[in-house]
């Protein structure tokens, strides 16, 4: 049996735990149990448990992690930690204060990573950081974010009408990144974004349409309302260790992307064929000004062909299954 820990449902747990594990369960590939408190696991008969998977952290102080790790080792249960972002956030992030101090989120992540038998991450750069600074002995597996196209929210249908629509789907931590677009005169264009606390994306983009945040089950429908997804990202240590999820989402919905020419996007986007990559303010301005509905359609369809197999949830789950089965081979 595999057990996953999902304390709350949010974007990370949705993409990295809930969707892929439910998919494997539905296909009969794993036996699955979900807990909302990691220490619920200690009440189980661990004889029937092979793997325990957590996203980022056990949310426990150092004594709790040691106790937990000892119990798992005694029972032969492998601890797998899924980490999608760098463990040190930037000061511009609205949740920065929660990550600081001995009992902050950042240290909780590091304690959990050090206790892990195996670590899954979408970033090769982040994998190197983990190996170098936190856990040189763990098995580290590159597991990209994938999409389940069977979900209605990833429909390729567009409801944009005759206008060319630019959209932004970033969460509340990206105000620093979207400043890369602040020099563009957005009054000239049709734009949309989601209304976020602490940030003013709609003000910067002069949005014609602004939506309240969608649930994790429907937020992908935002792509149906846009022809072009704007994916700005400043080149810094934290961002270089992010996943390419925003480009993958756009690809599965046949939405064109204009993205910053930085990791992780430059490894996936072929400039001029599957999207537009920008390295300067002038290139961003030119890319937006020159975009047409015809060109957006071409780029979106090309991007769809690029991602539809490699980033399909079943393809990505093959790597997860290798990790889950690794415990059985070592018994």
pLDDT, tens only, 7-22:
777 878 899 999 999 9
Nearest by Cα to 151 from 255, 212, 221, 225: 221
Q: In this structure, are 75 and 197 located in the same domain? A: no
For the chain, the domain total comes to: 2
Q: What pLDDT does 331 receive? A: 45
The pLDDT tens digits for 63-102 are 778 888 888 999 999 999 999 988 877 677 666 566 666 6
Nearest by Cα to 218 from 155, 311, 300, 172: 155
Mean pLDDT across 201-205 = 92
**CB-CB contact of 236 with 90 (8 Å):** yes
Q: In this structure, are 158 and 16 located in the same domain? A: no
What percentage of the chain carries pLDDT values higher than 90?
68
In this model, does residue 108 exceed pLDDT 50? Answer: yes
**CB-CB contact of 192 with 226 (8 Å):** yes
Largest CA distance in the chain: 64
CA 158 to CA 153: how far, in whole Å?
12
CA 164 to CA 162: how far, in whole Å?
7
Q: In this structure, are 57 and 159 located in the same domain? A: no
102: which 2 tokens? 């001995």
**Could you count the other beta carbons within 10 Å of the beta carbon of residue 322?**
14
Mean pLDDT across 36-54 = 86
Q: In this structure, are 27 and 81 located in the same domain? A: yes
Mean pLDDT across 161-172 = 91
Q: In this structure, are 8 and 132 located in the same domain? A: yes
Nearest by Cα to 199 from 233, 160, 172: 172
Q: In this structure, are 238 and 292 located in the same domain? A: yes
Q: In this structure, are 157 and 296 located in the same domain? A: yes
Q: How far is CA 127 from the centre of its chain?
A: 15
The pLDDT confidence band at residue 125, using thresholds 50, 70 and 90, is very high
Nearest by Cα to 319 from 57, 29, 111, 72: 29
- The larger pLDDT score, comparing residue 123 to residue 10, is at 123
**Cβ neighbours for 190, distance < 8 A, ≥ 6 positions apart:** 163, 164, 165, 166, 208
Q: In this structure, are 172 and 54 located in the same domain? A: no
Q: In this structure, are 156 and 14 located in the same domain? A: no
Span of 111-115, 246-250, 271-275 with lowest mean pLDDT: 111-115
Q: What pLDDT does 93 receive? A: 64
Span of 199-213, 243-257, 286-300 with lowest mean pLDDT: 199-213
**Rounded (5°) CA angle 331-48-144:** 70
Give the CB-side neighbour count of residue 217, counting CA atoms within 13 A: 0
197: which 2 tokens? 């606390």
Q: In this structure, are 158 and 294 located in the same domain? A: yes
**CB-CB contact of 288 with 166 (8 Å):** yes
- The larger pLDDT score, comparing residue 196 to residue 302, is at 302
- The larger pLDDT score, comparing residue 173 to residue 286, is at 286
Bridge partners, residue 228, by sequence: 166, 256
Nearest by Cα to 214 from 206, 223, 205: 223
Strands of the 209-211 sheet, one edge to the other: 209-211, 190-194, 165-168, 228-231, 256-260, 276-278
**Cβ neighbours for 20, distance < 8 A, ≥ 6 positions apart:** 146, 313, 316, 317, 320
Q: What pLDDT does 94 receive? A: 61
Q: In this structure, are 170 and 81 located in the same domain? A: no
Span of 15-19, 102-106, 317-321 with lowest mean pLDDT: 102-106
Task: Write down the H helix ranges in the chain.
Answer: 11-13, 19-26, 62-75, 105-115, 124-133, 175-178, 201-205, 237-240, 245-252, 281-290, 293-307, 313-329
SS3 category, 120: strand
The pLDDT tens digits for 275-289 are 999 999 999 999 999
Q: In this structure, are 117 and 177 located in the same domain? A: no
Q: Exposed, middle or buried, 274 (CB in 10 Å: 0-12/13-18/19+)?
A: buried
Per the listing, tokens 């106790």 go with: 67
- Omega before residue 264 within 30° of 0, cis: yes
Range(s) of the domain holding residue 299: 152-307
CATH number of the domain bearing residue 176 = 3.40.50.2000
Per the listing, tokens 């649930």 go with: 215
The pLDDT tens digits for 142-163 are 999 999 999 999 999 999 989 9
Q: What pLDDT does 36 receive? A: 87
In this model, does residue 170 exceed pLDDT 50? Answer: yes
């Amino acid at each position: 049996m595999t057990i996953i820990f999902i304390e709350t449902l949010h974007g990370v747990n949705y993409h990295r735990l809930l969707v892929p594990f439910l998919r494997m369960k539905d296909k009969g590939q794993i036996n699955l149990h979900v807990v909302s408190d990691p220490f619920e696991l200690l009440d189980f008969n661990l004889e029937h448990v092979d793997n325990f998977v957590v996203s980022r952290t056990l949310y426990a102080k150092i004594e709790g992690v040691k106790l937990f790790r000892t119990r798992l080792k005694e029972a032969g249960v492998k601890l797998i930690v899924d980490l999608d972002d760098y463990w040190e956030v930037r000061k511009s992030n609205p949740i920065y204060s929660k990550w600081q101090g001995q009992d902050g989120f950042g240290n909780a992540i590091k304690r959990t990573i050090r206790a892990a038998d195996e670590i899954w991450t979408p970033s090769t750069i982040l994998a190197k950081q983990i190996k170098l600074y936190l856990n040189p002995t763990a098995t580290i597996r590159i597991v990209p974010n994938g999409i389940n196209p069977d979900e209605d929210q990833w429909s390729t249908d567009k409801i944009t009408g005759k206008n060319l629509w630019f959209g932004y789907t970033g969460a509340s931590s990206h105000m620093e990144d979207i400043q890369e677009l602040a020099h563009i005169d957005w009054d000239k264009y049709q734009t949309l974004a989601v209304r976020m606390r602490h940030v003013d994306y709609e003000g910067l983009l002069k949005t014609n349409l602004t939506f309240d945040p969608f649930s994790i089950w429907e937020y992908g429908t935002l792509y149906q309302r846009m022809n072009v997804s704007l994916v700005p990202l400043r080149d810094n240590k934290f961002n270089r260790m992010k996943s390419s999820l925003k480009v993958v989402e756009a690809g599965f919905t046949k939405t064109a992307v204009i993205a910053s020419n930085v990791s992780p996007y430059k490894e996936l986007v072929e400039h001029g064929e599957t999207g537009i990559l920008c390295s300067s303010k002038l290139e961003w301005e030119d890319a937006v000004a020159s975009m047409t509905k015809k060109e957006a359609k071409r780029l979106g369809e090309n991007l769809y062909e690029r991602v539809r197999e490699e980033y399909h949830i079943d393809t990505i789950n093959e790597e997860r299954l290798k990790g889950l089965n690794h415990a059985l081979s070592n018994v």
